[in-house]
Amino acid sequence: MNVSIPKEMRPGERRVALAPDTVRKLVASGLSVVAEAGAGLEAGFSDADFTAAGAAVTLDRAALLAGADLLACVNGPEPADVALLRKGAAVIGFLRPLDEPDGLRPFLEAGVTAFSMELVPRSTRAQAMDALSSMATIAGYKAVLLAASRMPKMFPLLMTAAGTVPPAKVLVVGAGVAGLMAIATARRLGANVEAYDVRQAAGEEVRSLGARFLDVDLGGIQTQDAGGYAVELSPEALKRGRDLVAKHASDADLVVTTAQVPGRKAPLMLDEAAVNGMKPGAVIVDLAAPTGGNTAYTQPGENNVVRGVTILAPLNLAATVPLHASQLYARNVAAFLRLLVGEGGTLVVNLNDDVVAGACAVHDGKPVNPRVAALLAPAPSGATR
Ligand code: NAD
């Protein structure tokens, strides 16, 4: 199997899909790897690093695409690039299949298989392939550092000859992977941290990091599905959580919001009144910006200031830590890729494997993952979408 690594073309993207340490292992296992010249530069990997790991390096992007059995990407390739892939080739990357399903149509037309890292089942067996968690870990860490550099305060309690500086107060809304990392990072910097999540199970994890878990009575409703994910709440239950968040945000120096429900728009956790009730100089980092944001003032991809409160809404924080993000992502991709290697090192798409089938958006000109299939199905005649 020929694994190709293109240079990422999306503005601001600094990651590369396979880092040299992972390339070395793939080559040792008998695969051939080709990297586009400069593919790893922004992540801190030179062409010589790829060559030393056993990859070939080429300046010819069109030839790299045409020769790929498997194209390992961070972001999905542009339609013009998909058209250069051969029929039967496969692509792995963050393809945004649920947010932008039409982006899969060029794959259907070209007969190219699309595996999306967002669709990898979050099962125990697929844990090593969980790129969403890897990137959320980085985002949670970087969110706190971003805020620290914008805040007019320090984080730790300091007792100096000039007097005492109290610790910063941090509120984290949504204690999933990103939220827990934000809590851990803020705690390491010395802040007092509170956190809220609809899932009661998150309480124990929050407390184990030395933060206080904010509990609210949601009326005994079910807040998570069988997979452990939050479900969409009723307006009444959402309001109870929002009221609690507003009360604690009014006293916070930093609020990191991460609340998301898979496949849905992010819930509103801080309405206009809640943001207006915060202290001037306070900072919000909204990590739910890619799915619409958790605050009434979030402008995805922009920073804005409302009555002295700064609202940061970054869309791709993982790309701002490109070396570690690339290394972790590469290991996730390589773990998945091993499921695709058949006898003699050939590419095999075994749709009887639940992880392969779950992650497969389209194969052989047809949608595979049922959620993708539903989104790509033609609307019934007369119906509007
Ligand atoms: P996510 O990014 O979808 O959501 C972030 C957090 O927001 C979640 O904790 C969610 O409960 C919370 N949330 C949603 N609506 C909310 C609301 N109205 N108010 C407050 N909080 C709200 O989640 P994630 O970080 O990807 O992970 C969520 C779950 O998946 C967790 O249970 C986690 O342990 C589990 N998980 C499992 C695996 C695995 O088994 N391989 C891997 C990663 C995560």
Nearest to 115 by CA among 277, 351, 317: 351
CA dihedral (56, 57, 63, 64) positive or negative = positive
Supply the pLDDT for residue 381.
63
**335-346 pLDDT, tens digit each:** 999 999 998 889
Give the integer Cα–Cα distance in Å for 323 and 347. Answer: 28
Candidate of 197, 248, 271 to mutate for ligand 1, largest count of ligand atoms within 8 Å of Cβ: 197
Tokens of 60: 């010819």
Supply the pLDDT for residue 383.
53
- At residue 242, what are phi and psi to the nearest 5 degrees? -65, -40
**122 included as an active-site residue:** yes
DSSP-based three-state secondary structure for 170: strand
Average pLDDT, the chain: 95
Tokens of 298: 């979030």
Please give the average per-residue pLDDT across 284-302, as a whole number.
Answer: 97
What is the position in ligand 1's atom list of the atom closest to the CA of 178?
25
CA dihedral (153, 159, 160, 163) positive or negative = positive
Supply the pLDDT for residue 253.
98
182 ligand 1 Cβ < 6 A: no
Nearest to 113 by CA among 100, 124, 131, 97: 97
Contact 269, 295 (CB under 8 A): yes
Q: How large a percentage of the chain has pLDDT more than 70?
A: 97
Task: State how far the alpha carbon of 295 is from the alpha carbons of 114, 240, 259, 311, 370, in Å.
Answer: 34, 16, 10, 9, 31
177 ligand 1 Cβ < 6 A: yes
Is the model's pLDDT at 349 over the cut of 60?
yes
DSSP-based three-state secondary structure for 134: helix
Dump the DSSP string for 232-275: PPPHHHHHHHHHHHHHHHTT-SEEEE----TTSPPPP-B-HHHH
113 ligand 1 Cβ < 6 A: no
